[in-house]
Amino acid sequence: MDTSLDVEKQLVIAEVRRFVEREVMPVVHDLEAHDTYPLELIEKLKRLGVFSATIPEAYGGLGFDFVTYVQIVEELARGWMSLSGIVNTHVLVAHMIASYGTEAQKQYFLPLMAQGEKRGGLCLSEANAGSDVQAITMTASHVGDEYQLNGAKLWVTNGVNASIFAVLARTDPHARPPHRGMSIFLVEKGTPGLSVGRTFEKLGYKGVDTAELLFVDVRVPASHILGGIAGEGFKHAMGGLEVGRINVAARALGLAQAAFNDAITYAQQRETFGKPIAQHQAIQLKLADMATKIEAARLLLQKAAAKKDRGERCDLEAGMAKLFASEMCQEVTLEALRIFGGFGYTKEFNVERYYRDAPFMLVGEGTSEIQRLIIARHLLHQHKIS
């Protein structure tokens, strides 16, 4: 826990930690095994105020900064990474509305989202447009005082259970460069023409729905363009993805911490050649590297979150935190599995779940390769030779 936080925030983080240990850890194995959406846990998260964590107090939220929020996410992911994913997409959409929305949009959407009853979903990716966001083909045609949306979105977390979707679409297909002709629409569940096409069975990241959403002549009021002005959607999406990348880094950190905690405990209990394996140098070297990389990821994450809290662009810092934390998580979960030996490959222990969940962080909110490109471009800009 960051002890520089005020007492109220420390108490909230401590309460989330207790919630994870008392309510999540005892049931996660069965929920994950059956790929069950955790309705009871979500109800408890609502009462804890987690869904309102970053929503401004003026709109019914707790108004926490991102330095606090990432510690909440880390605790949730330590118990079950999928829980933090359900929260992430919601917080991301709420942040976009709070940062870029009109006052009317904030007054309408944010109090509903703060209660956790109406949860958010982000609709950016398409079948041929993942990291290349400018390649989207979904259209939004202006019809009177409304827009008519047509197309499909993939990989929508909370796609089945969310109620408020932030949907990126082309309002001007002839704009050059293409990003100048994109807008984000706030679309509510139940709008005629909006439906779930299919859901995806995944390697890990169980218990949270990942869906394809279909938009067939979906009519949306022009007043539901985020910010009220068409053509700003790409900028809004990129600002939201900063939050998403910070969140994924926090998820990776929590998952890696869980794997380390299990591994260092097991290493002191399991004996070979007459002594605990923790006393063998080979295992000690693994534990030292795991703990060092976790702490390094935590520091990168805190730096990115602090910069976001100052209202500054943090593409570089968020990219570094996401890249390092996700790659670190993959390494740490594998090392934990190896410390457990044969038992690590069974469902008797949690490390096999950690190992299946870890790859999501490598691709979620932009692949490691994309993060490296973003980082390099910012570095070249910063160090440009005049």
pLDDT for the residue 134: 86
Which is the catalytic residue, given 32, 126, 335, 365? Answer: 365
Q: Are residues 53 and 157 in the same domain?
A: no
Degrees to nearest 5, angle at CA 266 with 264 and 271: 115
pLDDT for the residue 2: 55
Residue 2 lies in a domain: no
pLDDT for the residue 6: 83
pLDDT for the residue 197: 95
Instruction: Compute mean pLDDT per 10 residues along the chain, 386 residues long, and list them.
Output: 72 95 97 96 95 96 96 97 94 96 98 94 92 91 96 95 97 92 97 96 95 97 96 93 95 98 98 96 98 98 96 94 98 98 96 98 93 96 91
pLDDT for the residue 4: 64
Does 365 participate in catalysis according to the annotation? Answer: yes
Helix 281-309 / helix 66-79 crossing angle, nearest 10 deg: 140
Q: Are residues 300 and 250 in the same domain?
A: yes
Domain CATH for 55: 1.10.540.10
* 215 phi, psi to nearest 5 deg: -120, 110
Q: Which amino acid is at 58?
A: A
Q: Could you write out the three-class secondary structure of 299-367?
A: HHHHHHHHHHHCCCCCHHHHHHHHHHHHHHHHHHHHHHHHHHHHHHHCCCCCHHHHHHHHHHHHHCCCC
Q: Are residues 140 and 93 in the same domain?
A: no
Q: Are residues 239 and 226 in the same domain?
A: no
For the chain, the domain total comes to: 3
pLDDT for the residue 133: 87
Which residues are within 8 A (CB) of 60 and not within 5 positions of it... i.e. 6 or more apart? 52, 110, 111, 114, 115
CA–CA separation, 262 vs 193, rounded Å?
Answer: 47
pLDDT for the residue 9: 87
> Of 61, 90, 114, at which residue does a domain stop?
114
Q: Are residues 248 and 207 in the same domain?
A: no
Containing domain of residue 343, as a range?
235-382
Q: Are residues 248 and 159 in the same domain?
A: no
